Amino acid sequence: MYVPFLSFTWQNALIRTAVQEKSHLFFNSENYILGPEVTAFEQAYAAFNNTSHCVGVGNGLEALIISLEVLGVKPHDEVIVPANTYIATWLAVSQVGAVPVPVEPEEFTSNLDPNQIVAALTVKTKAILPVHLYGLPCNMTAIQAIADQHGLFIVEDNAQAHGARWQGQITGSFGHVNATSFYPTKNLGALGDGGAITTNQAAYARQARMRRNYGSETKNYNDIIGRNSRLDELQAAYLNVKLPFLNTWNAERRKIAAYYLTHLQQVPQITLPPTLPEAEPVFHLFVIHTPQRQKLQQFLKKQRIETAVHYPVPPHLQKAYAFLNYQTGAFPITEKLAQTCLSLPVWPGMSEEMLQYVCEKIKQFFNEE
Ligand SMILES: *Cc1c(COP(=O)(O)O)cnc(C)c1O
């Protein structure tokens, strides 16, 4: 049986007609930038995310950059980032001229360890940038307490966690300004690039709106040096079709995760994602850990099961960050996670036969070892 790492076939079948109608309407509307679809999506996503404001932008990286700009993060400021994250989180900090200050994860959640944040703070620290990696919320109670105590901003990177909750509160609503991505593979994905900023503060939303559109609020009047990072009207139109399905699709992901958790718990050689009483994850990815990652991945590939690695090289060991002079061993937990992680297929519409097959083959691999 062939099991792709990701397939849109099932999801696309549900929205095909609506997408085709929207494409047709959009084409005839002759309103291609910042039109009614963007406005409608911003309202709908703000409501979904339980924030007063949402500002659609070009992509997730720019959502992060604009969030930091809005909060006044400046060159030479420091921003606490997870050592264990996708590099975009760090790139945003670097793009505003600030310094990413990495903090190790908790090994069992892969997320930023709140107990290690305080030791990394200096007089230059401006903000904490938690990432809800793989769709598992960070410990926002602890992170908020630290931010409050030290007068720091929080910017959540919610790119992997649309709809996740920590102690009942939706992620992307904790920080002062929060960023998300609608890259096609995310839980809510556009048919191309897209992103958004969410906030409860009108002043931050207004700033973000200006910054995404040349620093202008009134056409031909430019108050600040802005960017061009608008959410495409066409992408907003597609997102308006897809958003009503997001809760159902997240429930599908949870069902698949529950299957893996049940059927793989007896395999002592792998570590499964944690179940935390405070967290409702949305399983953007289902990541297991095993020292035999490479051999397991090769074996599964031979069985026609596609897996992936998120992520093989942590940001501090990338060439782009060589200038920060971190050596191998600088962040041992992050490096261990990078060497042992393996992402199993998880996508809405994945069949029980496929899940059964994946679990069976993983067990077979370890039985033969
Ligand atoms: C996808 C992703 C981003 C970047 O989003 P883009 O829309 O691809 O720019 C940032 N942070 C995390 C954690 C991501 O997964």
Closest residue by Cα to atom 5, ligand 1, is: 60
Query: pLDDT at position 155, please?
Result: 98
The answer to whether residue 150 scores a pLDDT higher than 90 is yes
- Show the beta-strand stretches assigned E in the chain: 53-57, 78-82, 99-103, 125-128, 153-154, 165-166, 169-170, 178-181, 195-199, 216-218, 221-222, 279-280, 286-289, 341-344
> Residue 197 Cα, ligand 1 centroid: separation in angstroms?
13
The answer to whether residue 298 scores a pLDDT higher than 90 is yes
The answer to whether residue 69 scores a pLDDT higher than 90 is yes
**Residues 55, 39: Cα–Cα separation, whole Å:** 9
At residue 169, what are phi and psi to the nearest 5 degrees?
-95, 135
Q: Which ligand 1 atom is nearest residue 182's CA?
A: 7
Task: Dihedral sign for Cα 265, 267, 272, 276, please.
Answer: positive
* Residues above pLDDT 90, as percent of the chain: 100
Our mutation pick for probing the ligand 1 site, out of 157, 283, 285, counting the most ligand atoms within 8 A of Cβ, is 157
Mean pLDDT value of segment 208-217: 98
CB-CB contact of 105 with 88 (8 Å): no
The answer to whether residue 92 scores a pLDDT higher than 90 is yes
Mean pLDDT value of segment 55-71: 98
Mean pLDDT value of segment 311-319: 98
Round to the nearest angstrom and report the end-to-end CA distance of the chain. 22
Give yes or no for residue 112 CB within 6 A of ligand 1: no
Nearest C-alpha neighbor of 103 from the set 116, 90, 93: 116
Q: Which residues are catalytic?
A: 186
> Residue 123 Cα, ligand 1 centroid: separation in angstroms?
29
Give yes or no for residue 187 CB within 6 A of ligand 1: no
Query: pLDDT at position 20, please?
Result: 98
Query: pLDDT at position 277, please?
Result: 98
Mean pLDDT, rounded, of the chain: 98
Mean pLDDT value of segment 275-303: 98
Give yes or no for residue 131 CB within 6 A of ligand 1: yes
What is the pTM for the complete model shown?
Answer: 0.98
The answer to whether residue 64 scores a pLDDT higher than 90 is yes
Give yes or no for residue 82 CB within 6 A of ligand 1: no
Q: Where are the domains of the chain?
A: 9-103+112-244, 246-368
> Residue 268 Cα, ligand 1 centroid: separation in angstroms?
32
Architecture of domain 9-103+112-244 in this structure: 3-Layer(aba) Sandwich (3.40)
Mean pLDDT value of segment 14-34: 97
Mean pLDDT value of segment 164-180: 98
Model confidence pLDDT, tens digit, residues 95-129: 999 999 999 999 999 999 999 999 999 999 999 99
- pLDDT band for position 189 (50/70/90)? very high
Go through the chain and tell me how many residues it has: 369
Mean pLDDT value of segment 230-248: 98
CA dihedral 236, 198, 51, 83 (to 10 degrees): 130
The answer to whether residue 214 scores a pLDDT higher than 90 is yes
246-368: CATH topology: Aspartate Aminotransferase, domain 1 (3.90.1150)
For residue 4, count CB atoms less than 10 angstroms from its CB and return exposed for 0-12, middle for 13-18, buried for 19 or more. Answer: middle
78-82 vs 125-128, strand pairing mode: parallel
Residue type (1 letter), 43: Q
Q: Which ligand 1 atom is nearest residue 186's CA?
A: 1
Query: pLDDT at position 369, please?
Result: 80
